A = this chain, B = another copy of it.
């Protein structure tokens, strides 16, 4: 009889429309019928990405799309600038390393956002930098970076700006074109309310020039093949048919809601979560750059963070995330991304209260839920 709630930063809960689409009989991908789906999906993604650029759909998780960015833009021996303020920033560095690309790293303290001025400085000092790899929402720390500010800096240089928006797209604002983002990467299992298995990547004209010049070996993730296929409303290899059809359901929901409402909803849920967490006497991990997609809070002294997350999940069916890598056991991360609304947050906070209480943390029972309710009652 246990009900399960998913408040993790990917996967996020699936709306009934998506579940229904997933259970339809499959269709063949080389048909006019599926071409209609590709067309609808790419148009819908352009709306979400806020771009006129091509958006390609890959049959891979988000990391596959990140790899596609690195290998299509750069060749071994090239130099990239990487903003590294968490586990997913580090992934850019690892990808560069794997392909022989020199990664100049801006090491940002976990829990802080990068200062665009630092990027400006590095680009001036090192004119060899061909690409700047950044993260919109660093899922591991709950930080949102100032992509608009970074875009202002990068657009006046020869370098391209690449944004990992895997966590964030569809939850928090990213204006691909207006903010001069040359490549924006995303995945299906976060703001887009789908199961994992699709990667997305938008490509500007400036980026296409590097793609043509890159000497990195590539085949499955070769965006030249993707471009050639998309121009014929096709995919170079067998696409993840079912997920693309479900994507169109999710995109339709988001279109109905409107981007402005979507972002406002995420903002309110984030505000409620942060307010609740503080009312429980927990410290926000990223107070100066808190993401509206996921809230990270420090586990209080004397409380076993891994046990906290495990108890919420295994005893009560509420799955939140713990800390990763260096923050293992030291953080809780509550996602409010995708198909999540206020009473999911209330449920999550209530369960957090219950388990914290049982574990001996001192706070006023009900204070978290009350704080969240206060935010939700505001206009």
Contact = CB atoms under 8 A, between A and B. Distances in A.
Interface of A: 4, 6, 8, 10-11, 13-14, 19-20, 22-29, 31-32, 59-64, 67, 76, 94-95, 98-100, 187, 189, 195-197, 216-222, 237-243, 313-314, 319
A21 to B, nearest CB: 9
Contacts of A28: 6, 8, 11, 319
Given A11-B29, A59-B197, A95 B219 contact: yes
A218 to B, nearest CB: 6
Given A23-B22, A195-B242, A219-B67, A237 B61 contact: yes
A243 to B, nearest CB: 6
Given A28-B11, A63-B220, A196 B238 contact: yes
21 contacts: A6-B25, A6-B26, A11-B26, A11-B29, A14-B25, A19-B23, A19-B25, A22-B23, A59-B64, A60-B60, A61-B240, A63-B220, A64-B220, A94-B219, A99-B217, A99-B219, A189-B241, A195-B243, A196-B241, A217-B217, A220-B221
A29 B24 CA distance: 24
Contacts of A22: 19, 22-23, 242
A27 B2 CA distance: 14
Contacts of A240: 61, 195-197, 240
